[in-house]
Amino acid sequence: MARIFAASQNFPLQMLRMLENNLKRERRIFAIVVGLLIFAALCGAAATTVFVLSSGLETDQDAVQAAMRGVNVSVFSRYNMLTPGSMLFELGAVAPKSQDSGLAIKPRCDAYPSGREDQALAAACDAARQSIPEESTPPRL
């Protein structure tokens, strides 16, 4: 170090050029460091944006799936309500079969509410009840 200082006293112009080169090098390094910091900040912002968008889309996807489940449940419940209705219409269109005396007649359907008497509904209910095999579970009509 002392030698450089001694040389600088002899050649001040050379020392100024060395100092200028060192400053240029430091400016380049500083510019590269600042550029890398800006790049890191942009990468962090992009990662945050992707995370926020993906979590928002995931929330929307969950909401859509819940809505689809609700639609499926309502469609299947409507379908399950239509299936017995179509069976009752088919039974009403077919002429009743003659009952053998050896077969036991199943009990009548109870009206709900109990004071209501609708002959057509009672006949359809009895026809549906007679068509259900004895081994099956009792239906809720």
3 or 40, greater pLDDT? 40
- Mean pLDDT, range 86-96, rounded to an integer: 64
User: What is d(CA 76, CA 105) in angstroms, rounded to the nearest whole number?
Assistant: 33
CB count in 10 Å sphere of residue 19 = 11
Q: What is the pLDDT of residues 99-136, one digit of tens each?
A: 554 445 555 666 666 666 777 777 777 777 776 665 54
Q: Are residues 65 and 131 in the same domain?
A: no
**Residue 97, pLDDT above cutoff 60:** no
DSSP helix, strand, coil percent of the chain (3-state; round to 5): 75, 0, 25
Whether 95 is covered by a domain: the verdict is no
92 part of a folded domain: no
For position 81, what pLDDT does the model report?
77
- Statement to judge: residues 63 and 110 lie in one domain: no
Q: How many CB atoms lie within 10 A of CB 121?
A: 14
Q: What gap in Å lies between CA 29 and CA 31, rounded to an integer?
A: 5
Residue 126 lies in a domain: yes
Amino acid at 129: R
Contact 127, 92 (CB under 8 A): yes
Q: Does 96 score more than 70 pLDDT?
A: no
**Can you give the pTM of this predicted structure?**
0.41
- Determine which helix (DSSP H) or strand (DSSP E) holds 135, and give its type and residue range: none
Helices (H), 94-118: none
Whether residue 68 sits in one domain with residue 10: yes
Averaged pLDDT, 64-87:
84
Query: Which range of residues forms the domain containing residue 112?
Result: 105-141
Rounded mean pLDDT of the chain? 77
